[in-house]
Structure 1
Amino acid sequence: MRIFDLHADIGSDVLNQHHLGKDNVLLTRHSDKCLKGEVSAIAMASFFSGKETYEEMQEMILTLENELEHQNVWQRVLSGNDLKSDRPLALMSVEGMCGIKENECEAIEWMYKHGIRLASLCWNEENALASGVKGNPDHGLSEMGRNVISKMDQLHMVIDVSHANEKTFWDILDCSKGFVIATHSNAYTLCNHPRNLKDEQIRAIAAKGGLIGMNSCAYFIDHDLTKVTVDALAKHAAYIKNLVGIDHLACGFDFMDFFGEEDADYIINDMKDASYAQNFIQALKNNHFSDCEIKKIAYQNVIDRFSQYLR
């Protein structure tokens, strides 16, 4: 079954490989695995950990944009109409805006001009815009951050809260009049990792018509790594469905196979990379999701909402 993956740090890998003198990274390192797993639509993230400058942010975004412009497999998603394409879909996203320290609205406009349609203000760190899960818990959106949210709403850029601390999360939900999602977060009740969402957060996202992408990283599924399986991930989906309904579920696997051995602990055996993505579809079936419900989680919820929202 076709899958729309809301989060993969492919922009980071593209730039890293370019620094090693390689090109055509999308086609040589990602496309085959994605298409084998029927992951035919991806939010390709440019990931920033908190140390990068604005110029470094621009370099990664431009490098990914250039690769997408010089290949014929992936259709760039710039508007809702692009989601109608029969080709595999590539939507450019940003994870963290640590490099933005001034002229924030102009920076967002520049990102939009170069294809970014989905973004989070922070990773785990605290920056000039907002605080992530490792930032000061009393700090949320700054005034600059509120300006960023307003500009993103104006441009119909989708706002991602997956790495926000609770103060930032609630500030964004209060501030934004647009489309807010958590691209790669699971249920805190089943695994109390700070990156997962508490019940009241899940309900708040659903109340705004948002989506929550199921994250296949082991530490967000169960603290006991011997119990981490794709079936356990499906149970997170079942929990959220029972809490707020099927229309707010999606996939956001955050595969890390291309980062190397340092991230091997995050990978579960039956979801090692995008080529294994259909194992999640089977796990949903095993957990008594109907075919219609599975289709919604796999891609239809994202297609429906993004088609309406992206301009």
Structure 2
Amino acid sequence: MRTVDFHCDVLSKMWEDPRASFVDGPHLDVTMQRMEQGDLALQVFAVFLSEKFGRPSFERVLAQLDVYRSRIVNAGHLKPLLWREQVQEMRQRKTERYGVLSLEGVDGLEGNLYYVQLLFDMGVRLMGVTWNYANWAADGVLEHRNGGFTERGRQLIEQCHRTGIILDVSHLSQAGFWELAELTQGPVIASHSNAYSICPHPRNLSDEQIRALIALNGMIGITFVPWFIRSGVERVTPEDVLPHIEKICELGGEKHIMFGSDFDGIDQWIEGLEHPGRYPDFQELLLKFYPESMVKGWMSDHALRFLEQHLPSSPVQKDKCDA
């Protein structure tokens, strides 16, 4: 059963270590070897700028995009997914593996909205507004004042809609979430967040937020960050993920579930679900409790349907239609 994963941080690790091999790097969670082992059809690669390397800048955004281009795509490991028409191609070519680029926090855009179009042209299709704290566009989920969007941030929303970039609410403040839900002209995603009512971590989504994402026809990427799954325990198992799935289904979100592991963004793992190669074991667990059609939807079908509906159409296809 093929899998789609909507969030990993391998690009920042590879940028930090120029010797790290995407083929089989021993210090990486996500590698080509493990994607093949887990039969990942698609991996979303986040560009994340850690503040431990100084102030986020557009130069560092470009540096991680270059890691993706030169060490993953041009090396022949993955094909970039850019257009909705490619989703059907992906379904047909079951041995091909694809990548999508996401920006995790717009800090590195430095308030320059012209960079949004430039990133789109370079293959970015998803954009998280914040990491955990405030930036020029909005407040993150750990910012105590819980502010919403700045005026420039609201312009960013409009620019992403015009450009064709899908917005991601994981890490966004509560106030920002509800402001975006009101302002958005299209669906949004939470690429790597769980259910707050199951595990009360501020990065998880309340029942009301989950209902709102469902109403917006958005998607929720259940994540494998142990402390987003169970609090106050040393050992988290794959079985502990199930209550989060159950809660989202209970709220009407069965067809809005996908997975966003956060591999390479964590230094503790679910026992038995430490990297993409473990996805087949996780599928076997899910199949003990749910019908195959439902599990297949969560593993890939719902995410691919979403991308087929909401990625921009290829200019080549548009030209054919106009001809």
Paired letter, 2:303: V
Whole-Å separation in 2 of the counterparts to 1:124 and 1:138:
11
Aligned to 1:294: 295
Whole-Å separation in 2 of the counterparts to 1:295 and 1:36:
17
CA contact (8 A) 1:188 1:196 kept: yes
1:72 aligns with 2:76: yes
User: How many angstroms does 1:226 deviate by?
Assistant: 4.2
1:272 aligns with 2:287: no
User: Residues 156-175 of structure 1 correspond to what in structure 2 (within 5 A)?
Assistant: 156-175=164-183
Paired letter, 1:27: V
Whole-Å separation in 1 of the counterparts to 2:22 and 2:126:
19
Instruction: List structure 1 segments (4+ residues) > 3 angstroms apart after TM superposition.
Output: none
1:82 aligns with 2:83: no
Q: 1:174 is paired with a residue of what secondary structure?
A: helix
Aligned to 1:304: 305
Paired letter, 2:83: S
Whole-Å separation in 2 of the counterparts to 1:114 and 1:68:
14
User: How many angstroms does 1:124 deviate by?
Assistant: 0.5
CA contact (8 A) 1:6 1:43 kept: yes
CA contact (8 A) 1:247 1:301 kept: yes
User: How many angstroms does 1:42 deviate by?
Assistant: 0.5
Number of matched pairs: 299
CA deviation map 1:135-181 (0-9, x unaligned): 24331111111111111111221111111110111111111112200
CA contact (8 A) 2:49 2:60 kept: no
1:54 aligns with 2:54: no
Whole-Å separation in 1 of the counterparts to 2:222 and 2:135:
26
CA deviation map 1:54-107 (0-9, x unaligned): 221222123222334412231110111222232111111111111223322x01
Identify the range of structure 1 (295-304 vs 55-64) with the bigger mean alpha-carbon deviation: 55-64
User: How many angstroms does 1:299 deviate by?
Assistant: 0.5
Whole-Å separation in 2 of the counterparts to 1:43 and 1:171:
25
Whole-Å separation in 2 of the counterparts to 1:170 and 1:228:
31
Aligned to 1:120: 128
- Ranges in structure 1 where 5+ consecutive residues have no aligned partner: none
Paired letter, 1:255: F
Whole-Å separation in 1 of the counterparts to 2:116 and 2:4:
25
Aligned to 1:93: 102
Paired letter, 2:109: I
CA contact (8 A) 1:218 1:225 kept: no
Whole-Å separation in 2 of the counterparts to 1:272 and 1:52:
29
1:207 aligns with 2:203: no
Whole-Å separation in 2 of the counterparts to 1:225 and 1:255:
20
CA deviation map 1:94-140 (0-9, x unaligned): 11111223322x01111111110011011101100111111243311
Identify the range of structure 1 (235-244 vs 275-284) with the bigger mean alpha-carbon deviation: 275-284
Identify the range of structure 1 (88-97 vs 192-201) with the bigger mean alpha-carbon deviation: 88-97
